[in-house]
Amino acid sequence: MDDELKNLLKRQHYRIVGNHSAVKLCHWLRKSLLEDRFCYKQKFYGIRSHGCLQMTPAVIACTQKCLFCWRPTQFTETALPEYDPPDYIVEESLKAQKALLAGYFGLPGRVSARKLKEAQDPGNVAISLAGEPTLYPELSELIRQYKSRGMTTFLVSNGTNPEILESLELPWNLYLTLAAPTEAIYKKLCHPQTNGWSEIMETVSMFSQLETQRVIRLTLVNQFNMVHPEGYARLIERAAPDFVEAKAYMFVGYSRHRMTIENMPSFLQVQEFAHAIEEHSSYEVCDSQSESRVVLLRRS
């Protein structure tokens, strides 16, 4: 990993694992420990916020350079020709989580001792955080390794590697990020490094065949992609996910060098857009969480 990138990530409180992986404590894990609050994954899917490991096996690699990405996208590789073994990544990611949690033991009275103890042994892994995880060649074995430890698994993909998803050891919850209703908007917002749109359309077409819980996440960016709800609806109907999350882009990390605070939609704007998709599809709004600016839809 480039030394400058490594230093940038460390300043953002990432814990580097091996040569291309990383762990970072989720904002909502900290909120759960300190304020007894929880994220939408707990509300929607029953995943305890304080028991979630947020990691990536490809922090330096992605097929896109999205304007809304919170990582420094100037350090983007499109492949991992040399890579660490999955058992090493799993073991070291769990150690990294414990190391990142160590400081909370110095806050007696402010942190739930029970929750902190449980957080040391996470029950879920969110394979997301940064980069495109399907670029890690042994992703299936990585998922198997986490499953073998009794953990539920979330995987977030941008859909540009459909052939990987088609043969993957499927996670418990598979996310497909859909950031645009048209190719022109996609190219403007996501800056693909491959034939991104055609690959995503291939993933959309085969998404319904993947036998696990499937979610399409709409990353909504004001002044960019909050248009053509009927276009999103057509793609959603083709993909036939179990759920759709309409979620606001958040003005955090290195995206602040490319975006403005005005690009972050309000919860009301997200609600209105979700209802517009509802009008053009067989999906209906069923839940929401204002703090995360997210609305959940499911097939009616």
With a cut of 90, say whether residue 2 has pLDDT above it.
no
Residue keyed to tokens 């896109």: 64
Report the C-alpha gap between 224 and 285 in whole angstroms: 23
Q: Are 239 and 218 in contact (CB under 8 A)?
A: no
Give all domains of the chain, ordered by start, each with its CATH number.
Answer: 3-299 (3.20.20.70)
Band the pLDDT of 290: cuts 50, 70, 90.
very high
Q: What is the predicted pLDDT for the residue at 4? A: 83
pLDDT in tens, 225-262: 999 999 999 999 999 999 999 999 988 877 888 999 99
Q: What is the predicted pLDDT for the residue at 27? A: 85
Q: Are 194 and 63 in contact (CB under 8 A)?
A: yes
pLDDT in tens, 12-39: 888 999 999 999 988 888 888 888 888 8
pLDDT in tens, 199-230: 999 999 999 999 999 999 999 999 999 999 99
Q: What is the predicted pLDDT for the residue at 33? A: 86
| pTM of the complete model | 0.91
Characterize 201-219 residue by residue with b for buried, 16 or more Cβ atoms within 10 angstroms of its Cβ, and e for exposed: ebbbeebeebeebbbbbbb
Which amino acid makes up residue 251? F
**What's the chain's average pLDDT?**
92
Q: What is the predicted pLDDT for the residue at 65? A: 93
Report the C-alpha gap between 259 and 186 in whole angstroms: 16
Q: What is the predicted pLDDT for the residue at 35? A: 86
Task: Report the percent of the chain where pLDDT is more than 90.
Answer: 70
Q: What is the predicted pLDDT for the residue at 63? A: 94
Q: Are 16 and 268 in contact (CB under 8 A)?
A: no
With a cut of 90, say whether residue 185 has pLDDT above it.
yes
Q: Are 164 and 139 in contact (CB under 8 A)?
A: yes
Band the pLDDT of 76: cuts 50, 70, 90.
confident
Which residues pair with residue 218 across a beta bridge?
178, 246
3-state SS track over 17-86 = ECCCEEECCCHHHHHHHHHCCCCHHHHHHCCCHHHEEEEECCCCECCECCCCCCCCCCCCECCCCCCCCH
- Of the candidates 30, 11, 53, 37, the one whose C-alpha atom is nearest the C-alpha of residue 104 is 30
pLDDT in tens, 90-127: 999 999 999 999 888 877 778 888 888 899 999 999 99
Report the C-alpha gap between 124 and 172 in whole angstroms: 10
Radius of gyration of the chain (CA): 18
